[in-house]
Amino acid sequence: MSTFSFETLTWSLITFLRSKIVDPISRGSDWIYPDYPRADATMPRLSLIQTGSFSREQGVGDQGTYWDVTFDIDVWVNKRSIATISGSKYTGSKLRNYLADKVVSAVLDNRSDLTISPYNLMGTVIGSVFTHPYDEELELYRKTIPVTVSIRRIKIS
């Protein structure tokens, strides 16, 4: 049986998001990371942090485990970030909200495309999305989207 790995889950979700959400300032796919951005990082940026998990056995006589793993997907936009999307200019909280909507849409509308090998995806849940107060010192707009991924890990003898 394969070893359980939070890193595998994290990178599977990052790869999925990179394939579904276009970078609004055309850097390619390297704008979604598994950590919080440095203060001098290029914005906008998405971060994905695994924040919790819960496991349970499938049942008596069954071999395997169900896992619910929660990630915080944060949208970070600097005050100076500007993106032109479909001919319209997006900055500040408007750009943050646009990108947060893209994250939610990617997770809700494309679940069947989310591959987390070697696990079986059972479902996804979006938690209580929240907007952080504007950070005046760092000039950052931020929104957090909690996403729980439910998987099944089957034991193979």
State the Cα–Cα distance between residues 39 and 29, nearest whole angstrom: 20
Annotated domain spans of the chain: 6-154
CB 150 within 8 A of CB 125: yes
What global pTM score does this model have? 0.89
State the Cα–Cα distance between residues 8 and 116, nearest whole angstrom: 8
> Over the stretch 99-115, which tens digit does the pLDDT of each residue have?
999 999 999 998 888 87
State the pLDDT confidence band at 157, using cuts at 50, 70 and 90. Answer: low
> Over the stretch 12-39, which tens digit does the pLDDT of each residue have?
999 999 999 999 988 777 899 999 998 8
Looking up tokens 């001098």 gives 40
CATH number for the region 6-154 comes to 3.30.2000.30
Give exposure, 79-89, as e/b (b: 16+ Cβ within 10 Å).
eebebeeeeee
